[in-house]
Structure formats: C-alpha cells, structure tokens
Amino acid sequence: MKITIFKRQIVKVICLLFIMVGILCISAETTVYATGNTDLPEVTIEEPEIPEVPDPDAQASLQITLGEDNGTMNGALRILIILTLISFLPAALIMLTSFTRIIIVMHFTRAALGTQTSPPNQVLIGIAIFLTIFIMGPIFTEINETAIKPLDEGLITTEEALEIGMEPLREFMYAQTQSKDVSVFMEISGNEWDGTPEGVPTSVLISSFIISELRTSFIIGFLIYIPFIVIDMVVASVLMSMGMMMLPPTTISMPFKILLFVLADGWNLVIVNLVKTFF
C-alpha cells in the first residue's frame, strides 16, 4: 500500500516537471516587473541566438582573384613575375649580349699565353662585364627610354613594354647573327623565312645568335693562337737541335710569348679589336 502511494507521488512530480518545461518552451519572451513600483523601466529577457554550425559535409573552396575585374594584373602576381624576371637576368646577360664572345676570347688569350691562372677568372669575368656594359649601353638606354619609363608612368601595359623592349635587343642580335644560322633554325622550327628581321621569331633569333657568337669567338681565338703557336714551334725546333729533348718547350717559350705580347701591346689589340667587331 505504501509503495503504491509512493509511486503515485513520483508520477505527480514528473507530471509537474513536464508542465513547467512546456510553459518555459512556449513563452519566447518573459517580462519582469519590479514589485511595488510600476514606474521602473520594463526589462525584457530575450533568448540568445544560437550560432549556425557549419555543415561538416560541405567542401571548402579557395578563390583566387588575379585582378579587380578591370583587366589589370594583380599586385601580388605582378611582384611574382618581376622576381622571376630578375632571376632570369643573369642568363639574359650572358646569352643575349656581347658577354659570351668577350669571355671566350679572353680565355683563349690566356690559354695561348700559357699562363694557367693569370689573369684569374674573376678578373676576366669583370673585364667581360664592363665591356658588355660599354657595348650594350646605347641599347640599354633605348630600352629604358622606350619601355621602362612609359611602363612606370602607366602609359603602356606590361605586354607592350616587353614587346617594345625586345626590339633593340632583336636589332642587335640580328646584326651579329649569320643568315645561315637563321635559315637552319627556321627550317628546324618548320617556318618559312622571307629574309627580313621581322619574319624571324624571337626564339629562333636567340638560338641563331648563340650559335653565331660561338663560331665568331672561336674564329677570333684561333687567330690569336697563331703567333704563339709559331713561337712554340721555333722553341721546340731549337731545343731538339740542341739535343735538349727532355726539356718541355713550354717552359722556354712562355717567357718569349709574354715578352711578345707585352711589346705588341697585346691586351689593347685584343680588347679594342674585339669591341670593334660589335660596331
């Protein structure tokens, strides 16, 4: 009997709890008034907004904007392209200017003299760089005036600046390139050449210019070698006639070659005539 009464009380308590929870859920807002004072402002307690939980099944998306919908290049992308071009500058300085011919001729001159490390490589590279700046100075000035400054002032686009800036370099390379090299690379690329500079693509012109520079520099190096070979032959013949076959001829001939080079003002002859080949 007592157990039955206890169960009934528990059921009543549970029913009261459900009724209270239902009342709280039905009332969205609750207004509280201060007791005994109706002049106080009304205080309203609102239910807090529950933030939206992102859907775990939704896929994340990445959006990259290259411009501002105005046809111009984004600043970050422009900086990336500029840094890439700066890393390409050493290769352009070596292959698209007079640097290749100068440095090869300098090495041939040192080898013909027989001095292994004099002048050292750093000196030869420095000479080649400054001679390249001297030879390419007018071309760099023209590129600066016609392409870089208008681009900096916003008068032309990047594509137009690249096209205008390549024209002086194309004229320089075409003047130093032999026609047979251009014809060979045009044939390899499957294009027909009408014999004009405008009909040669830039990639074909660069390849032809490199081959022509290598050929020209080796021809100049051979001409430099001729007088020193004569000295080696004369010294070797004298040593053999004296029976001194065990003595290396280069040991005796090197001082005579250096003396001949100094008396003939060899560095002036080599450098001046080498620079004149570009004009």
Residue 87, pLDDT score: 82
- Residues 154-211: tens digit of each pLDDT: 888 878 888 898 899 999 999 999 989 999 999 998 888 888 888 899 889 999 999 9
Which residues are 30's β-sheet partners? 45
Among residues 104, 150, 102, 157, which one has the least CA distance to residue 130?
102
- Cα distances from 10 to residues 3, 15, 20, 22, in angstroms, run 11, 9, 16, 19
Structure tokens at 209: 């210019």
- Residues 22-76: tens digit of each pLDDT: 665 555 444 444 444 445 455 455 555 555 555 545 444 444 444 444 445 567 7
**CA–CA dist 160, 182 (Å, integer):** 26
- Rounded to an integer, the average pLDDT of 11-26 is 63
Q: Give residue 152's region: left, alpha or beta (phi > 0; psi -120 to 50).
A: alpha
Is the pTM for the entire model greater than 0.85? no
The whole-chain average pLDDT of the chain stands at: 79
Among residues 198, 164, 176, which one has the least CA distance to residue 278?
176
- Cα distances from 149 to residues 87, 143, 156, 157, 185, in angstroms, run 21, 9, 9, 11, 34
**Cβ(257)–Cβ(113) under 8 Å?**
yes
